[in-house]
Amino acid sequence: MTKSQLSFRLRQNAPQSVRKDSRKEGHKKSLKADVSKTEGNSNSAGLLFPAGDTAFKTILSARFCAAIWSYITDCDETFNYWEPMHYLVFGKGLQTWEYSPEYGLRSYLYLMVHAVPAWIYNKLLQPNPILIFYFTRCLLGLIWPYVKIQPFCPQVLPCIQPLQLVQHGGSKSMHWQYFFTALGSLLGWPFAALLGVPIAFDMLFRKKLYTDFVAWSAISALVILLPIVIIDSMIYGCITVAPFNIVKYNIFGGAGPNLYGTEPFSYYLINGFLNFNFVWVLALVSPFMITLNYYFVPSKNKSTLYLPYWLSLSPMFLWLAVFMVQEHKEERFLFPIYPLICLICSKRISPGMHYLDKTLFIMIGVIAVTSWLGISRVFALYRNYHAPFDLMMELNRYPVETKVPDKAHVNVCIGKDWHRYPSSFFLPNTNWNVYDL
């Protein structure tokens, strides 16, 4: 009698109850296997996440809604980006001192990246300027979900784009991470280079890639910085390095940002909670939670493929450490770390990161509460701050309803509310001029 026959006979001779229990256990195992295949995507670290197409459609829907219904949260976006872009498209627009050759703080190449599609759209169809405004917004909302970003408002502020480029690089090799960080910093906002410090640390001190670091620094300078300097110098009429100029003005010898007001240390703490509610709190206490997790939760994944937690969290906390001690504070200065706030919080509430075996209810509860508070915040912002957009939309329809000739020159006075003016794209045509008191 072979071993397999003996094994079969022993099972046949087993008591009926044992055989039933064995069948039940086998049935349970098969059910668990089936459930594990169908309950969604997950990884060995216990993270749950939707499929790629589901995530893309969700983010795309959110960004289109933001492009259509959100207002401009900062007047710098209007006067430093939408107005100069209106000039590039129509040959007319308001100018701020930051675009004067004396200072040269802003790069025209960054504007051209956004203005070229708008210019083509205008030349082909000659639509109402307000349609170009929303076309540009929707185009940004269409492009950025491809680089795996969080669903925030499509804006042309350069402090938003860098983190999106850094995240896009995060899905590539380390060399591309470095390149996209340089692209976001040089073309967008130079201070965003702070987010790339952990990447540089990883390359130089953990992996000793000295040659690669120097090589990709040279590539970034050649491919990104050189075109910026050439184009800006041609437009400004003198040698201009816009990324250096803005750093120089704000840090080394310029008038500095304090000219525009100062805020207490607690400003970002309060503002972060206002916009992210308990997501912000969970992100801030994540180092403490990770420490508890290390000592009290049995490790479920010892893979060395993952970055150390301290290195993964360092971009957000490095950013806060620098900007919270600055006297001049603005809400938009936190924009670059918005996706990191959500990412760190999601990691903290994911199954497998807690002491209890069954913690799905924690994740569902946190998502339900924070989502409800977040949606309430969105509706509050729309209801209380969307009036300038509504008013300018009515003004845009005024020539059609009252039959004002297209060639008529009309002056629009916005009084002292210049900081709420959404941009010249909301005027019916270029014969309309805006003035303030």
pLDDT in tens, 379-414: 999 999 999 999 999 999 999 888 888 888 999 998
Distance CA 277, CA 370 (A): 7
Q: Which of 269-283, 319-333, 340-354 has the lowest mean pLDDT?
A: 340-354
392 closest CA partner among 67, 128, 123: 128
Q: Which of 266-280, 358-372, 382-396 has the lowest mean pLDDT?
A: 358-372
Number of residues that make up the chain? 437
- The residue-averaged pLDDT of 341-346 equals 87
Q: Which residue has the higher pLDDT, 406 or 221?
A: 221
What is residue 363's predicted lDDT score, i.e. its pLDDT?
80
- The residue-averaged pLDDT of 59-64 equals 86
What are the b/e assignments for 239-257, b being 16+ CB within 10 Å?
Answer: ebbbbbbbbebbeeeeeeb
Per-range mean pLDDT, top range of 55-59, 172-176, 342-346, 409-413:
409-413
Burial (CB < 10 A; 0-12, 13-18, 19+), residue 340, is buried
pLDDT-derived band at 45 (thresholds 50, 70, 90) equals very low
Tens of pLDDT along 126-172? 999 999 999 999 998 888 766 554 444 566 666 555 555 555 444 45
What is residue 295's predicted lDDT score, i.e. its pLDDT?
76
Distance CA 232, CA 227 (A): 8
Distance of CA 5 to the CA centre of its chain: 64
Average pLDDT, the chain: 81
Q: Which of 34-38, 154-158, 237-241 has the lowest mean pLDDT?
A: 34-38
- The residue-averaged pLDDT of 18-31 equals 44
Q: Which residue has the higher pLDDT, 217 or 360?
A: 217
Whether the per-residue pLDDT at 258 is higher than 90: the answer is: no
Whether the per-residue pLDDT at 340 is higher than 70: the answer is: yes
Q: Which tokens hold the place of 224?
A: 């990104």
What is residue 162's predicted lDDT score, i.e. its pLDDT?
53
Q: Which residue has the higher pLDDT, 35 or 346?
A: 346
Whether the per-residue pLDDT at 36 is higher than 80: the answer is: no
What is residue 257's predicted lDDT score, i.e. its pLDDT?
80
CA atoms within 13 A on the CB side of 157: 21
- The residue-averaged pLDDT of 330-344 equals 89
What is residue 33's predicted lDDT score, i.e. its pLDDT?
39
Whether the per-residue pLDDT at 301 is higher than 60: the answer is: no
pTM over 0.85: no
